Amino acid sequence: MDTYKSKAKKIGVEIKPSTNKAKKFDAYKDGVKQASFGATGYQDYEKYKKSDGIEVANKKRSAYRARHKDDINVKMRDGKMTAGYLANKILW
């Protein structure tokens, strides 16, 4: 969780475990919830790195970014940060 929190801090948000059972985290900026992100049934970069090694994690990261190329760079929508952007910056 510390790695995720430090990545979140770099982009100016605070993360907490999600209130949505299907998501890993909720992101808050200035006390306002931005989005819930990270599906609970899937691994992310840090988890792959621990379980399968950095080479596999890097391949998974590349595949994730290719699959989500249309939404990971959209930072804001309707005045809030997007889940895709947050997942890319914090989980991947």
pLDDT, one tens digit for every residue, the chain (92 residues): 789 999 999 999 999 999 999 999 999 999 999 999 999 999 999 999 999 999 999 999 999 999 999 999 999 999 999 999 999 999 99
- Provide the sign of the torsion angle of the four alpha carbons 27, 74, 90, 13, taken in this order: negative
Angle at CA of residue 42, ends 80 and 83, nearest 5°: 5
Instruction: Give the per-residue pLDDT at 1.
Output: 72
Instruction: Give the per-residue pLDDT at 24.
Output: 98
